[in-house]
Amino acid sequence: MRRYVAVVSASLILLPSLAEAHPYSLPRSFALQPEGGAAEPPQPEVDPSLQPTSSKAPPSPVRPEVEKPPEPEPEPEVEPEPEPEPLPEKAPDAFNRHGVGVVGGLTIVPTFIVDNYVATMTNALCRGNSLPGGKLASNLNRVDGCNFFIGGEYIYRVSQVFEVAPQLGYQRIKAPDGLWLDRDECKGGDGSADCNYAAADYTQVDLSFLYVAVDLIGRGTIIKTPEFAWQLGGGGGLGVGIISGIGKGLFQTPLGVPAGSPNGDGTLNGGTCGSFTDYQDFTRCTPHWWSEASDENGRPPPAFGELRLDDQNANSARFADCTKDKCNDADLDALGRKKNTDVPPVIPYFKLMATTRFLIKDTFGINIQGGWNTGFYFGGSLQYFFGPK
């Protein structure tokens, strides 16, 4: 132990002299501090040329400012495109749903409707008083006048292709006065001598009626512009016809046996009424009283002075006062004119039609139609349409 102490002590004694003898002298800061305080650090030597002066240092050269590159312009914000809205469903074309109209036209009741029942008859064919040729002339002894219908309608357009049209109107169904002969009274049906001309009846037909009906009509559009439309279609109608109080009915007066006309002295001339051509002139085939027991007369002869011919000429054969075209109604009543009770007071009304219509701005309509309506008919209506569309 003592050996180690002696070595350390000797090292500490010899350390300063070793430091001075070393070629790389250590800084004094590493020297052992003398007793009594720390050693002052060595002062650096100052170069006399570096002494401060009173002059200011020259200004440093001004560096040229370096232009900054322009900042890039911000890109415009791109708004996202809105999603396209779904296309609306195509709305149907607007149209005026309601309408009113005035209807009218001509009606012809064809003779073939009663051809199986009569050998000769009268009719209104809208052709004056000239008889048609051909087969029709064989069972027509008189034509005159014209049947027609007129009325008003309300139109409800369910769509542009279908509409409902209630109607109220008057239908004239009338035939000129004439002599009608049953087919079984004329076996040949051709007006030969085999016909019993005396069995004819002076017949008056007035079956005019007031009708209430509803038409159902479908139409397709052929041409359509904002200003104009042309439509074609068809349909039908159902209703009732009220004869009672409107038409007089069906009246028949026996011609009388034998058939003939009055002589100047009031007696009967039986040689003037022997063909259908004679039926066209009531001064040749004149109704007269002929039998008290007859089912057709069923009454005693009219008293003297009851007939108009009594005041004009002798009238012992009891003839009615007639012109070529008509006989006096009061005289016919005196001879036993009867109203046919087989005609009902109300009849069914049935219509079939084809129609074409021209619409102007979906407001004014010109409707032309034809078909069957108590006979063949041709007519039309003027219509006015209004909203809501």
CB-CB contact of 176 with 109 (8 Å): no
CB-CB contact of 132 with 113 (8 Å): no
331 within some domain: no
| pLDDT surpassing 80 at residue 186 | yes
18 within some domain: no
140 within some domain: yes
What one-character-per-residue DSSP string does 149-171 give? EEEEEEEEESSSSEEEEEEEEEE
Return the CATH number at 135.
Answer: 2.40.160
| pLDDT surpassing 50 at residue 268 | yes
Q: Tokens 């109209």 appear where?
A: 101
**Bridge partner residues of 104 (DSSP):** 150, 380
Among 161-165, 190-194, 308-312, name the most confident range: 161-165
| pLDDT surpassing 60 at residue 120 | yes
3-state helix, strand, coil in the chain (%, to 5): 15, 35, 50
User: Residue 287: which residues within 8 A CB-CB, separation 6 or more?
Assistant: 202, 253, 254, 255, 256, 319, 320, 322, 327, 331, 332, 335
**Bridge partner residues of 348 (DSSP):** 240
Q: For residues 320-329, give the mean pLDDT.
A: 96
161 within some domain: yes
| pLDDT surpassing 60 at residue 64 | no
Strands (DSSP E) along 23-117, which ranges? 98-108
60 within some domain: no
Write down the mean pLDDT value for the chain: 84
143 within some domain: yes
Going by pLDDT thresholds of 50, 70 and 90, the confidence category of residue 18 is very low
Q: For residues 226-254, give the mean pLDDT.
A: 95
The pLDDT assigned to 12 comes to: 44
Give the tens place of pLDDT for each residue, 129-168.
888 887 666 789 999 999 999 999 999 999 999 999 999 9
Distances (CA, A) of 285 to 141, 180, 250, 255, 276: 12, 12, 20, 8, 10
215 within some domain: yes
CB-CB contact of 381 with 113 (8 Å): no
Cα–Cα distance between 106 and 129 in angstroms, integer?
17
Is the sign of the CA dihedral 200, 107, 244, 164 positive or negative?
positive
6 within some domain: no
Our count of domains for the chain comes to 1
Domain extent, residue 367, equals 98-173+208-243+344-386
